[in-house]
């Protein structure tokens, strides 16, 4: 797989590129395909102008079409880079070359002063996970004062977070992504894939 100029490899298989290089790439080639794999609600909150929203949970259902129709350079983005890495791994496993992950995601893009289109403000999925996990741990520790063994729930949450880090997946995040709050106006996966093919010129 040929990496774009400025790309760095975050592990042994997935190409990645930093925010500065993505901004230069978009300035020199506005036709670069930017695919945002966050939830529709996160995408509505703030996204890069021209980005296509294809939530991570919709990628599997459209893998064949994406591989066949979305040619050229594709930059995958999410909030911090984790979900984009998962999407990139799925696409690479299906035979797509040219997909790369923007490291740091929208967090780094906004911190670097990148322009965004803003809509209704909602919490990112990562922030929701921190709130829910932290609340469960706190409540289980407090409950252990009157309910013997309640503190074990905190241990289970901790184990889940360790597994999430080691596997680069998050069951809690996947569950939260299905809530109506995170669906926002909803993403039309079919329309997103059609737009990807149109931008790729196929």
Q: Where are the domains of the chain?
A: 7-122+186-200, 125-177
The angle formed by the CA atoms of residues 101, 111 and 163, to the nearest 5 degrees, is: 50
Three-class secondary structure of residue 181 per DSSP = helix
> What does the DSSP 8-state code read for residue 4?
P
pLDDT (0 to 100) of residue 181? 65
pLDDT band at 71 (very low <50, low <70, confident <90, very high): low
**How many angstroms separate the CA atoms of 68 and 62, rounded?**
10
Top-level class of domain 7-122+186-200: alpha beta
pLDDT (0 to 100) of residue 11? 45
> What does the DSSP 8-state code read for residue 2?
P
- Residue for token digits 């996160």? 42
6-15 residue pLDDT tens:
333 344 467 8
151-157: long-range contacts (C-beta < 8 A, 24 or more apart)? 157/133
> What does the DSSP 8-state code read for residue 162?
H
Lowest mean pLDDT among 44-58, 86-100, 166-180: 166-180
Three-class secondary structure of residue 129 per DSSP = helix
CB contact set of 83 (below 8 Å; sequence gap of 6+): 37, 38, 56, 125
pLDDT (0 to 100) of residue 8? 34
**How many angstroms separate the CA atoms of 29 and 147, rounded?**
60
């Amino acid at each position: 797989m040929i990496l774009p100029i400025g790309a760095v490899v975050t592990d042994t298989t997935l190409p990645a590129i930093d925010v500065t290089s993505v901004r230069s790439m978009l300035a020199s080639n506005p036709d670069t395909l930017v695919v945002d794999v966050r939830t529709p609600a996160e995408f509505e909150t703030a996204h890069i102008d021209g980005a296509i929203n294809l939530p991570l949970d919709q990628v599997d259902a459209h893998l064949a079409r994406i591989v066949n129709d979305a040619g050229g350079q594709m930059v995958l983005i999410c909030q911090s880079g984790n979900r984009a890495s998962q999407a990139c791994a799925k696409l690479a496993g299906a035979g797509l070359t040219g997909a790369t992950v923007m490291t740091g995601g929208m967090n780094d893009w906004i911190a670097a002063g990148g322009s965004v289109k803003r809509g209704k403000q909602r919490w990112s999925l990562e922030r929701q996970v921190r709130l829910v996990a932290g609340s469960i741990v706190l409540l289980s520790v407090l409950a252990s004062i009157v309910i013997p063994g309640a503190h074990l729930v905190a241990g289970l949450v901790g184990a889940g977070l360790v597994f999430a880090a080691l596997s680069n997946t998050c069951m809690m995040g996947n569950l939260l992504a299905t809530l109506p709050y995170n669906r926002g106006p909803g993403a039309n996966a079919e329309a997103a894939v059609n737009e990807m093919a149109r931008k790729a010129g196929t």
